[in-house]
A and B are shown apart, each in its own frame.
Chain A
């Protein structure tokens, strides 16, 4: 006898919570994004795509979008360049040291981004340790401005998102069978060639997954750009915050938020296709 299996009751509480706290609020967001905000009169529900058109038709907002994409790209590259060697080196250490290094690399992920930004404010300050070092060595005469600009934002985001890249690359490094590397060495390949022709291709899925994760989070970040950019570097996420907490134009803010979702989901779709293709090639 076959009978229709319904979801067990134990799944229901969580399902209801998600539908009530995520699905329904997102529907509200979508509806409000189609409404219009008039100062003094509030939100008028006349359902049009005006807010989306306003964002996509205004050079100022497109400029902000470009800044966001540029920062996210730089952060992704930075995480890759800094994270890969660290993961590669960590993977070769003795187990106890590997555990220690991994702990040191991942623990900062668990501390609020506000606290880490406070650290960067001090490090990058005009009278901070980096400028102190530069002046002491005589490389510069006056402090170099390193804070409240795009450089600080990119650096802060790299530090915040590095753990994701390290984790992703390390996982794919540890998945490589030692026999493969031994085979390459026995066949006479020098270490550099083993890395370029064997290790690097085998870690491409990890690189792709880590990069797109970093890109997606960077593209929707607003705390680091706000604190370390000092209001000078505006990202799409900052626009959303501004619309919601300052100008109170919720419809326009909701529309920008949904465009952000489209961007992030687009990135994840690319990741999905890319990782699948990379893994398919291997077989």
Chain B
């Protein structure tokens, strides 16, 4: 970049944007420690009463457990399907390869709302709407493309000479795959798994259509409470989620690079 032009206006604009991005989450976290019953900023006093309150609300705990199970199951399926598909696309020449790649990534392009209504009409015919299985299928559809994308990028960066060296040293193709290739792909696979987990855990659009009286997820539960939000309980629940996701992102940043993984996905 150019020798830094220290423009105070530029600094001001950048800080404003940063404030805008961080403010909603910071406010939610701050209010969760309020000691009164008002959903108001700045909070008054300091207490953990709203965190204690969560434990007395079984619906949030149930929804959280469902969301966690769903996120783990979706991430696992997405990693299996997405990794194998990405390897197949990059390592084997076959006609229509680009079309297959485009098809596998297409859920990222289409509005999630449309995926959700299409799934609702399909799964309700199968009697799977408002079931864990139905939710899982829906979440796999929206999380798998992330894994495909990140593993494809990973594959491009793998130096083929490393695998060639293993072959020359006498390893069988299977052994090369399990002892070499898989480990070279690990950062991409882990990034894909983490994104799939978070995207499933956060998902509201698909879940809203596929949940029901029998089963619900945390974002849907929060969404339902938002319309008559009048006590800080929701902020305490949200703060726990924010903290969990933040911890996961920091861990990702230190190990595989969350921001760089995200920028690779955008391209």
Contact = CB atoms under 8 A, between A and B. Distances in A.
Given A8-B92, A110-B245, A181-B2, A14 B118 contact: no
10 contacts: A13-B81, A15-B85, A17-B144, A23-B103, A82-B20, A107-B246, A113-B204, A115-B238, A173-B1, A222-B113
Given A123-B27, A220-B111, A250-B121, A115 B222 contact: yes
A17 B81 contact: yes
A22 B39 contact: no
A23 to B, nearest CB: 8
B245 A111 contact: yes
A275 to B, nearest CB: 12
Interface string A53-89: 0000000000000000000000000000011011011
Interface stretch (B3-11, B45-53, B55-63): B3-11
Interface in A13-41: 13-15, 17-18, 21-26, 28-29, 32
A129 B41 contact: yes
A94 B45 CA distance: 39
B204 A82 contact: no
Interface in A225-246: 227, 237, 240-241, 244-245
Interface in A245-281: 245, 250, 253-254, 257-258, 260-261, 264-265, 268
B196 interface: no
A244 B123 CA distance: 14
Given A10-B88, A112-B202, A86 B14 contact: yes
Interface stretch (B155-163, B168-176, B255-263): B255-263
Contact of B41 (A22, A25, A122, A254): A122
A223 B26 CA distance: 20
Contacts of B20: 82, 158-159, 162
B117 A240 contact: yes
B98 interface: no
Given A110-B249, A114-B223, A7 B113 contact: no
Contacts of B198: 110
Contacts of A14: 81-82, 84-85, 104, 144, 148
Contacts of A129: 27, 41-42
B23 A171 contact: no
Contact of A13 (B11, B85, B125, B204): B85
A146 interface: no
Interface string A111-126: 1111111111111010
A178 interface: yes
Nearest to B265: A167
Given A13-B80, A102-B259, 7 more contacts: A7-B88, A14-B104, A115-B242, A176-B1, A220-B111, A240-B113, A257-B111
Contacts of B111: 216, 219-220, 237, 257, 260-261, 264
B5 A99 contact: no
Contacts of A28: 118, 121-122, 125
B229 A171 contact: no
A103 interface: yes
Given A7-B94, A113-B204, A85 B40 contact: no
Contacts of A173: 1
Interface of A: 5-11, 13-15, 17-18, 21-26, 28-29, 32, 82-83, 85-86, 88-92, 99, 101-123, 125, 127-129, 158-159, 162-164, 166-168, 170-171, 173, 176, 178, 181, 185, 191, 194, 199, 216, 219-220, 222-223, 227, 237, 240-241, 244-245, 250, 253-254, 257-258, 260-261, 264-265, 268
5 interchain residue pairs of minimum CB distance:
A119-B24, A220-B111, A14-B85, A11-B88, A25-B118
Nearest to A181: B2
A10 B88 CA distance: 6
Interface in B90-137: 91-97, 100, 103-104, 106-107, 109-115, 117-122, 125, 137
A171 B265 CA distance: 12
Given A25-B118, A168-B266, A83 B17 contact: yes
Given A115-B222, A129-B41, A106 B262 contact: yes
B4 A92 contact: yes
B25 interface: yes
B263 A121 contact: no
Contacts of B266: 164, 167-168, 171
A254 B117 contact: yes
Contact of B5 (A108, A119, A191): A191
Contact of A159 (B21, B117, B229, B263): B21
B70 interface: no
B73 interface: no
A105 B17 CA distance: 9
